[in-house]
Amino acid sequence: MNWPAVSAVSTAVIAFVLVLFLVAALVLVTRLIGLSRTVQGFVKTLERDTRPALETARSLIAESQRVAVQITGEVKGIAEASQDVRHRLMSAVDRIEDRLVDLDTLVDVVQEEVEETVLDVSAALRTTRRGSTLAGTVKRLLFGKSRRKRRRRR
Protein backbone atom coordinates (compact mmCIF):
# COMPACT_ATOMS: atom_id res chain seq x y z
CA MET A 1 0.00 0.00 0.00
CA ASN A 2 1.12 3.29 -0.83
CA TRP A 3 0.77 5.28 2.31
CA PRO A 4 1.68 8.61 0.97
CA ALA A 5 -1.03 8.32 -1.71
CA VAL A 6 -3.67 7.23 0.82
CA SER A 7 -2.61 10.04 3.10
CA ALA A 8 -2.85 12.53 0.22
CA VAL A 9 -6.27 11.28 -0.84
CA SER A 10 -7.60 11.35 2.74
CA THR A 11 -6.17 14.82 3.23
CA ALA A 12 -7.84 15.89 -0.04
CA VAL A 13 -11.15 14.36 1.09
CA ILE A 14 -10.89 16.07 4.46
CA ALA A 15 -10.04 19.36 2.75
CA PHE A 16 -12.98 18.87 0.35
CA VAL A 17 -15.36 18.17 3.26
CA LEU A 18 -14.01 21.21 5.06
CA VAL A 19 -14.53 23.35 1.96
CA LEU A 20 -18.07 21.99 1.60
CA PHE A 21 -18.68 22.69 5.27
CA LEU A 22 -17.30 26.24 4.87
CA VAL A 23 -19.43 26.82 1.76
CA ALA A 24 -22.52 25.50 3.58
CA ALA A 25 -21.67 27.68 6.58
CA LEU A 26 -21.16 30.67 4.27
CA VAL A 27 -24.52 30.03 2.57
CA LEU A 28 -26.16 29.61 5.97
CA VAL A 29 -24.59 32.81 7.29
CA THR A 30 -25.65 34.66 4.12
CA ARG A 31 -29.19 33.40 4.48
CA LEU A 32 -29.18 34.25 8.18
CA ILE A 33 -28.00 37.77 7.38
CA GLY A 34 -30.75 38.10 4.76
CA LEU A 35 -33.31 36.73 7.17
CA SER A 36 -32.04 39.10 9.87
CA ARG A 37 -32.44 42.04 7.48
CA THR A 38 -35.95 40.88 6.59
CA VAL A 39 -36.88 40.55 10.26
CA GLN A 40 -35.30 43.91 10.98
CA GLY A 41 -37.30 45.49 8.15
CA PHE A 42 -40.48 43.82 9.42
CA VAL A 43 -39.80 45.13 12.94
CA LYS A 44 -39.18 48.64 11.58
CA THR A 45 -42.40 48.48 9.54
CA LEU A 46 -44.26 47.11 12.52
CA GLU A 47 -42.81 49.83 14.75
CA ARG A 48 -43.66 52.52 12.19
CA ASP A 49 -47.22 51.23 11.74
CA THR A 50 -47.93 50.59 15.42
CA ARG A 51 -46.30 53.73 16.82
CA PRO A 52 -49.38 55.94 16.16
CA ALA A 53 -51.64 53.29 17.68
CA LEU A 54 -49.38 53.03 20.73
CA GLU A 55 -49.22 56.80 21.08
CA THR A 56 -53.01 56.99 20.79
CA ALA A 57 -53.39 54.22 23.36
CA ARG A 58 -50.99 56.00 25.71
CA SER A 59 -52.84 59.30 25.34
CA LEU A 60 -56.18 57.51 25.88
CA ILE A 61 -54.83 55.89 29.02
CA ALA A 62 -53.51 59.21 30.30
CA GLU A 63 -56.83 60.93 29.49
CA SER A 64 -58.84 58.16 31.14
CA GLN A 65 -56.66 58.42 34.24
CA ARG A 66 -57.24 62.17 34.32
CA VAL A 67 -60.99 61.68 33.89
CA ALA A 68 -60.99 58.99 36.59
CA VAL A 69 -59.26 61.37 39.00
CA GLN A 70 -61.74 64.12 38.11
CA ILE A 71 -64.72 61.79 38.55
CA THR A 72 -63.35 60.58 41.86
CA GLY A 73 -63.07 64.18 43.03
CA GLU A 74 -66.62 64.92 41.89
CA VAL A 75 -67.98 61.82 43.62
CA LYS A 76 -66.17 62.80 46.82
CA GLY A 77 -67.60 66.33 46.50
CA ILE A 78 -71.11 64.97 45.98
CA ALA A 79 -70.73 62.64 48.95
CA GLU A 80 -69.52 65.52 51.15
CA ALA A 81 -72.36 67.75 49.96
CA SER A 82 -74.87 64.98 50.58
CA GLN A 83 -73.48 64.44 54.05
CA ASP A 84 -73.68 68.18 54.76
CA VAL A 85 -77.26 68.37 53.47
CA ARG A 86 -78.21 65.33 55.55
CA HIS A 87 -76.72 66.89 58.71
CA ARG A 88 -78.46 70.21 58.01
CA LEU A 89 -81.75 68.45 57.30
CA MET A 90 -81.53 66.44 60.51
CA SER A 91 -80.78 69.64 62.43
CA ALA A 92 -83.77 71.36 60.80
CA VAL A 93 -86.01 68.40 61.64
CA ASP A 94 -84.85 68.56 65.27
CA ARG A 95 -85.61 72.29 65.39
CA ILE A 96 -89.03 71.73 63.82
CA GLU A 97 -89.81 69.03 66.36
CA ASP A 98 -88.83 71.41 69.17
CA ARG A 99 -91.03 74.13 67.66
CA LEU A 100 -93.94 71.73 67.30
CA VAL A 101 -93.62 70.74 70.95
CA ASP A 102 -93.57 74.45 71.88
CA LEU A 103 -96.58 75.09 69.62
CA ASP A 104 -98.48 72.18 71.18
CA THR A 105 -97.76 73.58 74.63
CA LEU A 106 -98.88 77.06 73.49
CA VAL A 107 -102.10 75.66 72.01
CA ASP A 108 -102.81 73.84 75.28
CA VAL A 109 -102.27 77.05 77.28
CA VAL A 110 -104.40 79.12 74.87
CA GLN A 111 -107.16 76.49 74.98
CA GLU A 112 -107.17 76.57 78.79
CA GLU A 113 -107.26 80.38 78.76
CA VAL A 114 -110.12 80.43 76.22
CA GLU A 115 -112.07 77.90 78.27
CA GLU A 116 -111.56 79.96 81.42
CA THR A 117 -112.55 83.16 79.56
CA VAL A 118 -115.68 81.53 78.17
CA LEU A 119 -116.62 80.36 81.65
CA ASP A 120 -115.96 83.86 83.07
CA VAL A 121 -118.02 85.53 80.29
CA SER A 122 -120.83 83.03 80.80
CA ALA A 123 -120.84 83.68 84.54
CA ALA A 124 -120.77 87.44 83.92
CA LEU A 125 -123.73 87.18 81.50
CA ARG A 126 -125.68 85.13 84.00
CA THR A 127 -124.95 87.72 86.68
CA THR A 128 -125.90 90.56 84.31
CA ARG A 129 -129.21 88.88 83.44
CA ARG A 130 -130.07 88.38 87.08
CA GLY A 131 -129.08 91.95 87.83
CA SER A 132 -131.09 93.22 84.86
CA THR A 133 -134.12 91.25 85.93
CA LEU A 134 -133.79 92.49 89.48
CA ALA A 135 -133.32 96.12 88.31
CA GLY A 136 -136.38 95.83 86.06
CA THR A 137 -138.47 94.54 88.89
CA VAL A 138 -137.36 97.37 91.18
CA LYS A 139 -138.02 99.91 88.41
CA ARG A 140 -141.52 98.61 87.81
CA LEU A 141 -142.25 98.67 91.47
CA LEU A 142 -141.04 102.22 91.82
CA PHE A 143 -142.24 103.78 88.59
CA GLY A 144 -145.03 101.62 87.54
CA LYS A 145 -145.51 99.92 84.21
CA SER A 146 -142.84 100.14 81.57
CA ARG A 147 -143.03 102.63 78.71
CA ARG A 148 -143.59 99.93 76.17
CA LYS A 149 -146.78 98.86 77.76
CA ARG A 150 -147.95 102.49 77.97
CA ARG A 151 -147.37 103.05 74.26
CA ARG A 152 -149.31 100.01 73.37
CA ARG A 153 -152.33 101.26 75.20
CA ARG A 154 -152.41 104.62 73.49
Predicted local confidence at residue 124, as pLDDT: 82
Decide if 98 is inside a domain.
yes
pLDDT digits (tens, 9 = 90+) for 36-59: 999 999 999 988 888 888 999 999
Domain residues for 85?
3-143
Decide if 118 is inside a domain.
yes
Decide if 148 is inside a domain.
no
Q: What's the total number of domains in the chain?
A: 1
pLDDT digits (tens, 9 = 90+) for 98-113: 999 999 999 999 999 9
Decide if 21 is inside a domain.
yes
Decide if 71 is inside a domain.
yes
pLDDT digits (tens, 9 = 90+) for 4-29: 888 989 999 999 999 999 999 999 99
Decide if 152 is inside a domain.
no
Decide if 151 is inside a domain.
no
Decide if 149 is inside a domain.
no
Cα–Cα distance measured from residue 1 to residue 60, given in angstroms and rounded to the nearest whole number: 84
